[in-house]
Amino acid sequence: MRAGLGGAAGLALAACSRSGDPARAAGPAPEPPASAEPLRPAAVPPADPTASALPTPAPTPPAASVPVASATAPRAQPVHRLDEIMPAAPANAVALTIDDGPDDWYTPQVLKLLDRYGVQATFCVIGIYAAAFPELVSRIANAGHTICHHSMTHQQPFNRLSAGRLAEEIERPMPILEKATGIRPLLFRPPGGAWSPQIAEAVAASELTPIDWSIDPKDWTKPGSPTIITRMLAATAGDIVLCHDGGGDRSQTVRALGTVIPTLLQRGLTFVPLSVR
Ligand SMILES: [Zn+2]
Protein backbone atom coordinates (compact mmCIF):
# COMPACT_ATOMS: atom_id res chain seq x y z
CA MET A 1 0.00 0.00 0.00
CA ARG A 2 1.35 3.37 -0.86
CA ALA A 3 1.46 6.33 1.43
CA GLY A 4 1.22 9.15 -1.04
CA LEU A 5 1.34 12.75 0.02
CA GLY A 6 -1.02 14.19 -2.55
CA GLY A 7 -4.28 13.24 -0.88
CA ALA A 8 -3.15 14.12 2.59
CA ALA A 9 -1.83 17.46 1.53
CA GLY A 10 -4.99 18.27 -0.37
CA LEU A 11 -2.91 19.62 -3.24
CA ALA A 12 -4.40 19.01 -6.66
CA LEU A 13 -1.52 19.35 -9.04
CA ALA A 14 -2.16 20.32 -12.61
CA ALA A 15 0.73 18.82 -14.49
CA CYS A 16 2.85 20.69 -16.94
CA SER A 17 1.23 21.71 -20.18
CA ARG A 18 1.56 24.50 -22.65
CA SER A 19 -0.13 27.81 -22.12
CA GLY A 20 -3.66 27.67 -23.45
CA ASP A 21 -4.21 24.02 -22.64
CA PRO A 22 -7.85 23.72 -21.50
CA ALA A 23 -6.94 21.28 -18.77
CA ARG A 24 -4.58 23.78 -17.27
CA ALA A 25 -6.65 26.88 -17.86
CA ALA A 26 -9.76 25.38 -16.28
CA GLY A 27 -8.17 24.32 -13.03
CA PRO A 28 -8.07 26.66 -10.07
CA ALA A 29 -4.69 27.39 -8.59
CA PRO A 30 -4.13 24.89 -5.78
CA GLU A 31 -3.91 26.15 -2.26
CA PRO A 32 -0.70 25.55 -0.36
CA PRO A 33 -1.01 22.44 1.80
CA ALA A 34 -1.96 22.84 5.41
CA SER A 35 1.13 20.88 6.37
CA ALA A 36 3.49 23.33 4.75
CA GLU A 37 5.70 25.29 7.07
CA PRO A 38 4.83 28.95 7.53
CA LEU A 39 6.06 31.16 4.76
CA ARG A 40 9.25 33.00 5.45
CA PRO A 41 9.65 36.37 3.81
CA ALA A 42 11.99 35.91 0.87
CA ALA A 43 13.98 38.97 1.85
CA VAL A 44 15.01 37.49 5.19
CA PRO A 45 17.88 35.04 4.75
CA PRO A 46 18.17 32.07 7.12
CA ALA A 47 20.33 32.64 10.16
CA ASP A 48 23.91 31.53 9.74
CA PRO A 49 24.66 29.30 12.75
CA THR A 50 28.40 29.80 12.34
CA ALA A 51 28.23 33.56 12.51
CA SER A 52 27.82 33.86 16.27
CA ALA A 53 30.77 31.49 16.86
CA LEU A 54 33.24 33.81 15.25
CA PRO A 55 35.28 35.78 17.80
CA THR A 56 35.27 38.80 15.59
CA PRO A 57 33.12 39.39 12.55
CA ALA A 58 34.87 39.20 9.23
CA PRO A 59 35.33 42.64 7.76
CA THR A 60 32.75 43.52 5.16
CA PRO A 61 34.44 44.12 1.83
CA PRO A 62 33.79 47.46 0.24
CA ALA A 63 30.91 47.46 -2.16
CA ALA A 64 33.17 48.22 -5.08
CA SER A 65 34.96 44.86 -4.67
CA VAL A 66 31.78 42.78 -4.87
CA PRO A 67 31.59 40.98 -8.21
CA VAL A 68 28.84 42.55 -10.26
CA ALA A 69 28.61 39.82 -12.93
CA SER A 70 27.49 37.03 -10.57
CA ALA A 71 23.80 37.18 -11.51
CA THR A 72 22.67 35.31 -14.57
CA ALA A 73 21.34 37.54 -17.31
CA PRO A 74 17.59 37.03 -17.77
CA ARG A 75 16.74 34.79 -20.71
CA ALA A 76 13.96 35.91 -23.00
CA GLN A 77 12.79 32.30 -23.14
CA PRO A 78 13.68 29.13 -21.21
CA VAL A 79 16.03 26.58 -22.71
CA HIS A 80 14.05 24.14 -24.83
CA ARG A 81 16.77 22.23 -26.66
CA LEU A 82 19.97 20.62 -25.47
CA ASP A 83 22.41 22.72 -27.50
CA GLU A 84 21.10 25.87 -25.81
CA ILE A 85 22.45 24.73 -22.44
CA MET A 86 24.99 21.98 -23.23
CA PRO A 87 26.72 22.84 -26.51
CA ALA A 88 29.47 20.32 -25.74
CA ALA A 89 27.03 17.41 -25.27
CA PRO A 90 27.51 14.43 -27.59
CA ALA A 91 25.86 14.82 -30.99
CA ASN A 92 23.60 11.86 -30.24
CA ALA A 93 22.50 13.14 -26.82
CA VAL A 94 18.93 13.49 -25.65
CA ALA A 95 17.71 14.66 -22.23
CA LEU A 96 14.90 13.03 -20.29
CA THR A 97 13.22 15.34 -17.77
CA ILE A 98 10.81 13.94 -15.19
CA ASP A 99 8.51 16.38 -13.41
CA ASP A 100 6.29 16.87 -10.37
CA GLY A 101 7.90 14.44 -7.93
CA PRO A 102 9.41 13.19 -5.85
CA ASP A 103 6.62 10.68 -5.46
CA ASP A 104 7.16 7.88 -2.96
CA TRP A 105 5.43 5.35 -5.25
CA TYR A 106 6.41 6.23 -8.81
CA THR A 107 9.83 7.86 -8.38
CA PRO A 108 11.49 4.67 -7.05
CA GLN A 109 10.04 2.77 -10.01
CA VAL A 110 11.50 5.29 -12.43
CA LEU A 111 14.85 5.22 -10.63
CA LYS A 112 14.93 1.44 -10.89
CA LEU A 113 14.21 1.65 -14.61
CA LEU A 114 16.88 4.27 -15.23
CA ASP A 115 19.40 2.20 -13.27
CA ARG A 116 18.56 -0.92 -15.27
CA TYR A 117 19.56 0.83 -18.49
CA GLY A 118 22.38 2.91 -17.02
CA VAL A 119 20.56 6.09 -17.98
CA GLN A 120 20.73 9.44 -16.23
CA ALA A 121 17.93 11.99 -16.29
CA THR A 122 16.81 15.28 -14.78
CA PHE A 123 14.14 15.31 -12.08
CA CYS A 124 12.20 18.56 -11.77
CA VAL A 125 11.01 18.35 -8.19
CA ILE A 126 8.37 20.31 -6.29
CA GLY A 127 9.49 21.85 -3.01
CA ILE A 128 6.70 20.55 -0.79
CA TYR A 129 7.32 17.00 -1.95
CA ALA A 130 11.07 17.40 -1.65
CA ALA A 131 10.48 18.52 1.94
CA ALA A 132 8.26 15.48 2.55
CA PHE A 133 10.65 12.99 0.94
CA PRO A 134 14.16 14.44 1.28
CA GLU A 135 15.70 10.97 1.29
CA LEU A 136 14.21 10.40 -2.14
CA VAL A 137 15.75 13.63 -3.42
CA SER A 138 19.11 12.53 -2.00
CA ARG A 139 18.72 9.13 -3.64
CA ILE A 140 18.01 10.75 -7.02
CA ALA A 141 21.05 13.00 -6.76
CA ASN A 142 23.31 10.24 -5.47
CA ALA A 143 22.42 8.14 -8.52
CA GLY A 144 23.90 10.85 -10.72
CA HIS A 145 20.68 12.43 -11.90
CA THR A 146 20.21 16.18 -11.94
CA ILE A 147 17.78 17.86 -9.57
CA CYS A 148 15.89 20.76 -11.14
CA HIS A 149 13.85 23.21 -9.05
CA HIS A 150 10.17 23.08 -10.08
CA SER A 151 8.67 25.64 -7.65
CA MET A 152 7.45 25.19 -4.08
CA THR A 153 3.77 24.34 -4.61
CA HIS A 154 3.31 24.19 -8.41
CA GLN A 155 0.95 27.16 -8.44
CA GLN A 156 -0.71 27.77 -11.82
CA PRO A 157 -0.89 29.88 -13.83
CA PHE A 158 2.62 30.51 -12.61
CA ASN A 159 3.07 33.59 -14.75
CA ARG A 160 0.18 35.33 -12.99
CA LEU A 161 1.49 35.16 -9.45
CA SER A 162 2.17 38.34 -7.52
CA ALA A 163 5.80 39.35 -7.13
CA GLY A 164 5.72 38.21 -3.51
CA ARG A 165 4.26 34.79 -4.28
CA LEU A 166 6.69 34.34 -7.17
CA ALA A 167 9.60 35.08 -4.84
CA GLU A 168 8.31 32.55 -2.31
CA GLU A 169 7.85 29.87 -4.96
CA ILE A 170 11.44 30.33 -6.09
CA GLU A 171 13.23 30.93 -2.79
CA ARG A 172 11.58 28.44 -0.43
CA PRO A 173 12.76 25.25 -2.18
CA MET A 174 16.38 26.39 -2.41
CA PRO A 175 17.51 25.37 1.12
CA ILE A 176 15.37 22.21 0.97
CA LEU A 177 17.05 21.03 -2.23
CA GLU A 178 20.50 22.16 -1.12
CA LYS A 179 20.19 20.26 2.15
CA ALA A 180 19.03 17.08 0.38
CA THR A 181 21.64 17.13 -2.38
CA GLY A 182 24.55 19.11 -0.95
CA ILE A 183 24.47 21.50 -3.87
CA ARG A 184 22.49 24.59 -4.67
CA PRO A 185 20.00 24.00 -7.51
CA LEU A 186 21.11 25.53 -10.79
CA LEU A 187 18.12 24.73 -12.98
CA PHE A 188 14.50 25.87 -12.76
CA ARG A 189 11.41 24.76 -14.65
CA PRO A 190 8.28 26.88 -14.12
CA PRO A 191 5.05 24.92 -13.59
CA GLY A 192 3.20 24.49 -16.84
CA GLY A 193 6.11 25.95 -18.76
CA ALA A 194 4.57 29.35 -18.00
CA TRP A 195 6.87 32.26 -18.68
CA SER A 196 6.95 36.04 -18.29
CA PRO A 197 9.55 38.80 -18.03
CA GLN A 198 8.94 38.83 -14.27
CA ILE A 199 9.71 35.10 -13.99
CA ALA A 200 12.78 35.59 -16.17
CA GLU A 201 14.08 38.30 -13.85
CA ALA A 202 13.33 36.37 -10.67
CA VAL A 203 14.94 33.19 -11.97
CA ALA A 204 18.02 35.05 -13.16
CA ALA A 205 18.31 36.87 -9.83
CA SER A 206 18.49 33.45 -8.13
CA GLU A 207 21.15 32.39 -10.64
CA LEU A 208 18.93 29.63 -12.00
CA THR A 209 18.83 28.58 -15.65
CA PRO A 210 15.23 28.15 -16.86
CA ILE A 211 14.45 24.87 -18.60
CA ASP A 212 11.65 24.14 -21.04
CA TRP A 213 11.23 21.11 -23.30
CA SER A 214 10.95 20.22 -26.98
CA ILE A 215 9.02 16.93 -26.75
CA ASP A 216 5.80 16.82 -24.70
CA PRO A 217 3.95 13.49 -24.70
CA LYS A 218 1.23 14.93 -22.45
CA ASP A 219 1.56 11.80 -20.36
CA TRP A 220 -0.21 13.52 -17.46
CA THR A 221 -3.48 13.36 -19.43
CA LYS A 222 -3.14 9.57 -19.22
CA PRO A 223 -3.72 8.87 -22.93
CA GLY A 224 -2.48 5.28 -22.55
CA SER A 225 1.05 3.91 -22.59
CA PRO A 226 1.06 3.20 -26.37
CA THR A 227 0.26 6.85 -27.11
CA ILE A 228 2.88 8.09 -24.65
CA ILE A 229 5.41 5.75 -26.24
CA THR A 230 4.64 6.99 -29.76
CA ARG A 231 4.90 10.62 -28.71
CA MET A 232 8.14 10.15 -26.77
CA LEU A 233 9.73 8.17 -29.59
CA ALA A 234 9.47 11.32 -31.72
CA ALA A 235 12.57 12.41 -29.82
CA THR A 236 15.79 12.77 -31.77
CA ALA A 237 19.24 14.03 -30.86
CA GLY A 238 19.15 17.37 -29.10
CA ASP A 239 15.62 17.06 -27.75
CA ILE A 240 14.62 17.70 -24.15
CA VAL A 241 11.80 15.25 -23.41
CA LEU A 242 9.15 15.90 -20.77
CA CYS A 243 7.31 13.33 -18.67
CA HIS A 244 6.02 13.02 -15.10
CA ASP A 245 6.64 10.82 -12.08
CA GLY A 246 4.38 12.78 -9.72
CA GLY A 247 1.12 14.69 -9.47
CA GLY A 248 -1.20 11.74 -10.07
CA ASP A 249 -1.36 8.19 -11.40
CA ARG A 250 1.83 7.86 -13.45
CA SER A 251 1.65 4.12 -14.07
CA GLN A 252 1.19 4.75 -17.79
CA THR A 253 4.33 6.87 -17.88
CA VAL A 254 6.38 4.28 -16.00
CA ARG A 255 5.22 1.58 -18.41
CA ALA A 256 6.00 3.80 -21.39
CA LEU A 257 9.50 4.55 -20.14
CA GLY A 258 10.15 0.80 -20.02
CA THR A 259 9.85 0.83 -23.81
CA VAL A 260 11.00 4.33 -24.70
CA ILE A 261 14.37 4.19 -22.96
CA PRO A 262 15.65 0.95 -24.53
CA THR A 263 14.23 1.92 -27.94
CA LEU A 264 16.01 5.28 -27.98
CA LEU A 265 19.21 3.56 -26.82
CA GLN A 266 18.86 1.05 -29.67
CA ARG A 267 18.55 3.98 -32.06
CA GLY A 268 22.00 5.10 -30.97
CA LEU A 269 20.93 7.96 -28.72
CA THR A 270 22.59 8.57 -25.36
CA PHE A 271 20.84 10.14 -22.36
CA VAL A 272 22.45 13.06 -20.54
CA PRO A 273 21.36 14.74 -17.31
CA LEU A 274 21.01 18.48 -17.83
CA SER A 275 23.91 20.56 -16.62
CA VAL A 276 24.95 24.18 -16.92
CA ARG A 277 28.62 23.31 -16.61
ZN1 LIG B 1 5.02 20.39 -13.33
pLDDT exceeds 80 at position 16: no
Q: pLDDT tens for residues 165-182?
A: 999 999 999 999 999 999
Q: Alpha-carbon distance 213 to 211, whole Å?
A: 7
- Ligand 1 centre to CA of 260 (Å) is 21
Rounded to whole angstroms, the Cα distance separating 15 from 24 reads 8
Residue 72 is predicted with a pLDDT of 75
Q: Which residues neighbour 276 within 8 Å (Cβ) at sequence distance 6 or greater?
A: 85, 186, 187, 209
Residue 210 has pLDDT above 90, yes or no: yes
Q: pLDDT, tens digit, for every residue of 116-169?
A: 999 999 999 999 999 999 999 999 999 999 999 999 999 999 999 999 999 999
Does the pTM exceed 0.85? no
Residue-level pLDDT at 185: 97
- Higher-scoring residue by pLDDT: 72, 269: 269
**Cα–Cα distance between 73 and 102 in angstroms, integer?**
29
What is the widest separation between alpha-carbon atoms in the chain?
65
With CA atoms as reference, report the closest residue to 195 among 42, 79, 23, 22: 79
10 C-alpha to ligand 1 centroid (Å): 17
Domain assignment present for residue 39? The answer is no
Q: Is the pLDDT of residue 73 over 60?
A: yes
pLDDT value at position 26? 32
> pLDDT higher for 236 or 42?
236
Number of folded domains in the chain?
1
Residue at 56 is within a domain: no
16-20, 204-208, 232-236: range with lowest mean pLDDT: 16-20
Average pLDDT of the chain is: 83
99 catalytic, yes or no? yes
- Residue percentage of the chain with pLDDT more than 70: 74
In the prediction, which pLDDT does 2 show? Answer: 53
Active site residue 154: no
pLDDT at 27 over 60: no
In a domain, 179, yes or no: yes
pLDDT value of residue 116: 98
CATH number, domain with residue 179: 3.20.20.370
pLDDT band at 17 (very low <50, low <70, confident <90, very high): low
**pLDDT beyond 60 at 194:** yes
Which of 21, 99, 216, 239 is catalytic? The answer is 99
Sequence-separated (6 or more) residues with CB below 8 Å from residue 154: 11, 13, 14, 30, 100, 126, 191, 247
Could you tell me what percent of the chain has a pLDDT over 90?
A: 73
Q: What is the mean pLDDT of residues 204-209?
A: 97
Indicate the SS3 state at residue 249.
Answer: coil
Range of the domain at 247: 72-271
For residue 219, how far is its CA from the centre of ligand 1 (angstroms)? 12
Distance 64 CA to ligand 1 centre (A): 40
46 falls within a domain? no
Instruction: With respect to residue 116, please indicate whether it lies within any of the assigned structural domains.
Output: yes
User: Do residues 81 and 258 make contact, with C-beta atoms less than 8 angstroms apart?
Assistant: no
Set 103, 212, 244, 245: catalytic member: 244
Q: How far, in Å, from the CA of 192 to the mean position of ligand 1?
A: 6
Across residues 256-262, what is the average pLDDT?
98
In a domain, residue 40? The reply is no
List, for residues 235-253, the tens digit of each pLDDT value.
999 999 999 999 999 999 9
* pLDDT value at residue 242: 98
Strands 270-271 and 187-188: unpaired
277 belongs to a structural domain:
no
* Residue 274: pLDDT over 80: yes
Instruction: With respect to residue 155, please indicate whether it lies within any of the assigned structural domains.
Output: yes
Q: Please give the backbone phi and psi of residue 188, each rounded to the nearest 5 degrees, phi first.
A: -140, 135
Distance 53 CA to ligand 1 centre (A): 41
